[in-house]
Amino acid sequence: MGRLAGKIALITGGSDGIGLATAQQFVAEGASHVFITGRRQQVLDEAVKKIGSKNVTAVQGDVSNMADLDKLYSLIQKEKGRLDILFANAGIDEVATLNSITEKHFDDLFNINVKGVLFTVQKALPIFVDGGSIILNASICSVKGCVAESVYCATKAAVRSFARCWTVDLKGRNIRVNAVSPGPIDTSMWKAAEISEEDKKAFITGVTAATVMNRFGTPDEIAKPVVFLASDDSSYITGIELFADGGLAQI
Ligand code: NAD
């Protein structure tokens, strides 16, 4: 019996990186079913193979698209009748210094990282029939100055505020809401940045040196704190932001 035995869980952006590692941990902790979402079916199919459990369902969809969210929750309602754990993890990062920020850059980041998280959670509430735990993926960026990431950082500051406010909004529903704030984690997010390989190398060296641990974290090093927040081990914890950042916030 694991710490999530019998629980029905949803992880948005569960096809890769932190979301995929969390799906693996949820299954290892005995979750009775884990739904994962992502934008690309092929990547989702590969993720299901990697997780290797019959208790996983992949649902293709975009968290910023209301129809996709409605479809997702209808499916969970129909198949399982309830949801106990939601990890609102899907998010994107794009770089732009202040003078190069475009309207599209702003809209893309806010649509996915803020609007996507907001409606992922709001639309899940009717199927949290028996209390539960909601975890939002913020970022250490929400409290630090980061070069060329001001819009991304602002989206993550919104997410950490969501956790604090929603925990109060949901008083009386027995639903805990917390945020996890990762430091630099070795996922494809870092490889996707549209900057030269040379700049990327310098950036990564600088970020590594900015952590106390002097290294990037692994997706598992976020998945495990998420299991803690999802499970009854954190039953009296709500509205917090848990830093899992290799000490970056302290430097
Ligand atoms: P990743 O690129 O490996 O995974 C991102 C996942 O989100 C993928 O499954 C992708 O399909 C999904 N996704 C992206 N946009 C989506 C959309 N519109 N609809 C549905 N799914 C979508 O990246 P990751 O590093 O695992 O990032 C996961 C979360 O962690 C993000 O919210 C990110 O901001 C946060 N985070 C990452 C780091 C880091 O250093 N990697 C640090 C702090 C916070």
30-41 pLDDT, tens digit each? 999 999 999 999
CA nearest ligand 1 atom 33, residue: 91
98-134 pLDDT, tens digit each? 999 999 999 999 999 999 999 999 999 999 999 999 9
Over range 237-247, report the average pLDDT: 98
**CATH numbers and ranges of domains, the chain:** 8-183+219-244 (3.40.50.720)
pLDDT at residue 193 above 80?
no
* Cα–Cα distances in angstroms (integers) from residue 132 to residues 88, 146, 226, 241, in the given order: 14, 34, 13, 17
Is 93's C-beta closer than 6 angstroms to any atom of ligand 1? yes
pLDDT at residue 157 above 80?
yes
Contact between residue 151 and residue 101 where contact means Cβ atoms under 8 Å apart? yes
> What confidence tier does 168 reach under pLDDT thresholds 50, 70, 90?
very high
Is 133's C-beta closer than 6 angstroms to any atom of ligand 1? no
Q: How many CA atoms lie within 13 A of 28 on its CB side?
A: 12
pLDDT at residue 195 above 80?
no
The predicted pLDDT at position 170 comes to 98
> What confidence tier does 210 reach under pLDDT thresholds 50, 70, 90?
very high
**Ligand 1: nearest atom to the Cα of 14:** 9
pTM: 0.98
Percent of the chain with pLDDT over 90: 91
**Ligand 1: nearest atom to the Cα of 62:** 19
CA nearest ligand 1 atom 24, residue: 17
Active site residue 73: no
Indicate the average pLDDT of the chain. Answer: 96
* Cα–Cα distances in angstroms (integers) from residue 22 to residues 10, 12, 18, 228, in the given order: 10, 10, 6, 11
Q: Is the ipTM of this complex over 0.85?
A: yes
Over range 218-228, report the average pLDDT: 98
Over range 212-217, report the average pLDDT: 97
CA nearest ligand 1 atom 2, residue: 189
